[in-house]
Structure 1
Amino acid sequence: MPDSVLAIEGVAKSFGANQVLANVGFSISKGEIVGLLGPNGCGKSTLLNLISGVFPADAGILAFQGENMTGQSMDQIARRGLVRTFQLPSMPRRMTVAELLHGAAARGAGFGSLFRRDASEMAEIDGLLDELALSHVRHLPAASLSGGQKKLLSIALALRASPRMICLDEPTAGVHPNLRHHMVGLLRRINASGITLLIVEHDMHFIRELCSRCVVMDRGAVIADCKPSELTSNEQVVEAYLGNARQKRAMA
């Protein structure tokens, strides 16, 4: 696909005798918001770990912006513009929110840059904190934030890397409904700025609000690639992900 940002072909991964992924393949175009769905244990998190370089694939090709990134480290992939968040983000106890955001950009720019804070950088950090409704916690230790605030901070850290694509691992899990509504608007604005999004998520209502397309996995393979509105009419998806007729009606 000419405008493909991420292309996955024939990807497989096993842990010992347990094959978690088998011949997985799909692509994501520039500017898309794609939901990656499936029941627990279907391979979503493993695939996200392969895409982001947490560990390597056993077979297949992972290409970002037309270049093969198979086998590259997480840092190498991030420097190319593909970054991710984690379902349970871990934050340092001895750094404030603002210090952590400053350090995120200084990383890789030389030791001395950790101590240089020019006006433009501080304005960027202030803007991020305002956008993510975190200004009131800027001087608190990052580890002291609530679970939802940590997820917002992890998005801010991803944005500090000037990404072309962000992969988000269950951004609404454990998040208060009011914050969830804010996150929908935030991710739409991030996408409107030109950043492609891949979102691993269980909240179907969140996916319907945000995504134009869904890739559904089951037992380590892709079983559907469709619009969110088509999920409940796909019998494979209903059986694998929604479970039964009662759940199907609830998600309609």
Structure 2
Amino acid sequence: MSEAAERQGKETCVPVLTASNVVRRFGGLVAVNNVSFHVKAGEILGLIGPNGAGKTTMFDLLAGSILPTSGDILLNGTRVSGEAAHLRIGRGLGRTFQIPRPLPNLTLIENIMLAAQGQAGEKLLANFLTPWRVAAQEKAARTKALELLELVTLSHLAHEPARVLSGGQRKLLELARVMMADPAIILLDEPAAGVNATLLEVIIDRIRDINARGITFLLIEHNIDMVTRLCHRVLVMASGQLLSEGTAEEVARDPRVIEAYLGGTA
């Protein structure tokens, strides 16, 4: 079990991630309007809603890409509302993006190794004063990166440049890369977008496998079949507000959700 997952396990009584009365304004536009929810340790929570509902803005707020106008965001009970994204990564929050952008000319293993945290070799003097430590950490990082490539079924391409990957394979690479940072929770931004049916099954299986290791997930997704198969709970946003919460079956029967998606037609 990863160090972050062990830390998460010790704090099971505290939600891994909490949004409390979060508001985000862009001038006169209220993109997120007084949204509150929590993510339980070990669950896969889905966040769905029609286009323009505020889902991506909510993800950006949780990840630290943008800061809330008001309200609080807590990670394992610690307030992180004003922290930048790189500080939240250090606290165990990882994020993938709808359109992955690996460094195309680096190999897959090199792309993953870049996400390793706390590497002594990042400091210039350490390479001269403690080269053995730098070498040992790099060896460990390479071994871990290979294991993660095996996990996401890309080990046969470990030494190929990332530019050769298909869209679905890039999603798998990004999943491996975020795992390199030992997250306690991963925010997945539309993992099914642009992925063929075969690779989508692989992605679903890998998410389940990683979740079984104790890693929590919050995912935005338009593929309702994927949400139904994966998510323990589902949140629905519309017009910047939290509209409904429950199992996939429960929210699908909610008249407010039907109205938001279909304009009131069943």
Same fold by TM-score, threshold 0.5 exceeded? yes
Paired residue type of 2:83: Q
For 1:1-252, what aligned pairs fall within 5 Å after superposition? 2-105=13-116, 108-111=119-122, 112=127, 119-243=139-263, 245=265
Aligned equivalents of 1:186, 1:75: Cα separation in 2: 25
C-alpha distance in 1 between matches for 2:35 and 2:214: 26
Query: How far, CA to CA, are the matches of 2:203 and 2:114 in structure 1?
Result: 24
Distance of 2:159 and 2:37 partners within structure 1: 42
**1:8 partner letter:** A
CA distance in 2, matches of 1:3, 1:238: 33
Q: Is the 8 A contact 2:14 2:77 kept in 1?
A: no
Question: Structure 2: which amino acid aligns with 1:209?
Answer: R
CA drift at 1:41: 0.6
- Local SS of the residue matching 1:202: coil
Q: Which one-letter code corresponds to 1:212 in the other structure?
A: H
| Deviation readout 1:133-189 (Å, 9 max, x if unpaired) | 111221222233111111111110110000000000000100010111111111111
Mapped contact 2:15–2:38 kept (Cα < 8 A): yes
After TM superposition, give the deviation of residue 124 of structure 1 in Å: 2.0
Q: What one-letter code is carried by the residue in structure 2 that aligns with 1:134?
A: L
**What's the TM-score, normalizing by structure 2?**
0.87
Which ranges in structure 1 are unaligned for 5 or more consecutive residues? Answer: none
Q: Which amino acid aligns with 1:80?
A: R
Q: Residues of 2 paired with 1:79 and 1:177: CA distance?
A: 34
Equivalenced residue count is 246
Q: 8 Å contact 1:90–1:143 — kept in the other structure?
A: no
Give the Cα separation in 2 of the matches to 1:16 and 1:142: 39
Give the CA RMSD over aligned residues: 1.9
Task: Write the distance in 1 (CA, Å) between the matches of 2:199 and 2:116.
Answer: 26
Percent identity between the aligned chains? 37
How far is 1:106 from its partner? 5.6
SS in 2 for 1:75: helix
Q: Partner amino acid for 1:199?
A: L
